[in-house]
Structures are given as structure tokens and as C-alpha cells.
Amino acid sequence: MPGVAEPPAKALRTPRAAGAAGILAALPLGAAMILVREAVPARPLDAAAYLADTAAHNALRVALILLPFGGIFFLWFMGAIRDSIGVREDRFFATVFFGAGLLFVAMLFVFGATAAAFLATIDAMRTPPQPTEFWRFGRHLTLSLLTEYAPRMAAVFTLTTTTIGTRLGLLPRWLSWLGYLVGLVLLLVVSRVAWSELVFPVWVLIVGCYLIVAHGRFRMISGKMPTS
């Protein structure tokens, strides 16, 4: 009957959608993080030298263009993963998974607004010259959002997603270990090691590619067997 065969077909399609969304989210997120790292100095520099560095300012503007698309596709990635879990969803892990993902996206957009204000401050400081404290505050706040708060939410999302995927048999052992490693790096190391926040979009990209390649394993995820 059509009504019986539909859930397995949906379960077969949903991991593909999650994989595609993961890839589409990882690429702009990773590119934006790289551009921000290039554009915003990790250590204090001379304000006059940074104000004259128009290439860094343009890189930050490009990052702000990519960032919203990364957040939108990441929401799609979350929704597709949760839909593929279906009736086997664990309420505790699903709540943490959902909350951490939403907070991560919220942090991304707060970061975007802060970086936009940082650029506006830089433009205002050029003529006439303004005190450098505003530039230093903006630099510190922008980097703190990128390297302190957003990665922590990404860590919780990674750990809960890996736990759910491992319990349901969605992820192979190597991908489970990779997820836990990425989560611990984002949770404990990211504020001390520059560029380590890039492990999150790399992990999302790997998970997305795996879901597309191995989508045939998820026929049982809806809890019903396909009929012949």
C-alpha cells in the first residue's frame, strides 16, 4: 500500500537532504571563518596600520556576506538530521541537540552584527582620527564571539549529534570517534589554538558527504520495514 511504503522512502531521502545541507553549510561557514581570521588580527596591532589595510576590511565584508547563508543551510542541516531520526528520537539528547544548534546559529548572527559594527567603527575612525580604544574593543569582541562562545555551542551540537548517530547506528565507528574528538577540541582547545574553530565546518562537511554516500543504510530509521 502507498501509505505503508511512504515512510521508508522518506527515511531514504532525508539523509540525502541532510548531507546536501551539511555540505552547503560547511563551505560558506569555513570560508567565512578563514576570512575573519585573515581580516581581524589575533594580537593587537597599531591602529593606524590596520585602518590602512583595506584588503583586511574587504575580506571581512565578504565573510559577512557568506555568514548568513552558512547559518541558513545549517538550520536545514539540523532539521533534516532530526527528521531522519524520526520516532527513535531521544528527548534529552534531541533537546540539547536542538538548543545547541539554535544557539550556535544565534551566535553566528550576533557575531555578524558585531563584525558589521566593527567595520562601521573602522570607517568612522579614519576621518577625523578617533581614539583607538573603540577599535581594540571591537577587535576583542569580534574574536571572542568567533573563538569563545560560538565554538562552545558547536561543541555541544557535535557531541550530541555524534551520540545520537552512534546510538542509532547511523555513524561508523571512525566517524563517531572523529565527532567526539572535534567536540572536545571545540570545547577545550579552541580558545588557545588559533584556527582550531575550523574543525567544526570540516566535521559538518565530512558528515554531509558521508550521509550522501551511505544514505542506503537509513531505511530502518523511521521504524518501519519497506514492503516488497
| Full residue range of the structural domain in which residue 160 is found | 21-202
Q: What is the pLDDT tens value at each position of the chain, 228 positions in all?
A: 444 444 444 444 567 788 889 999 999 999 999 998 888 776 655 666 677 777 888 888 899 999 999 999 999 999 888 877 766 667 788 889 989 999 999 999 998 888 888 788 777 766 655 555 666 777 778 888 888 889 999 999 999 999 998 888 888 999 999 999 999 999 999 888 888 999 999 999 999 999 888 765 554 444 443 333
Predicted local distance difference test score (pLDDT) of residue 127: 61
Interior/surface letters 51-87, b for 16+ CB within 10 angstroms, e for the rest: beeeebbebbeebbebbebbbebbebbbbbbbbbbbe
3 state DSSP class of 48: helix
161 lies in a domain?
A: yes
Q: What pLDDT, on a 0 to 100 scale, did the predictor assign at position 129?
A: 55
Residue 12, domain member (yes or no): no
Assigned domain for 208 exists: no
d(CA 165, CA 150) in angstroms, rounded, equals: 22
The CA distance from 94 to 81, in Å, is: 10
Residue 133 lies in a domain: yes
215 within domain boundaries: no
Cβ atoms of 97 and 161 closer than 8 Å: yes
Domain presence at residue 101 = yes
Q: Is residue 36 part of a domain?
A: yes
The answer as to whether 146 is a domain residue is yes
Return the SS3 of 193. Answer: coil
pLDDT at position 126 is 62
Q: How many domains does the chain have?
A: 1
pTM attached to this predicted model: 0.81
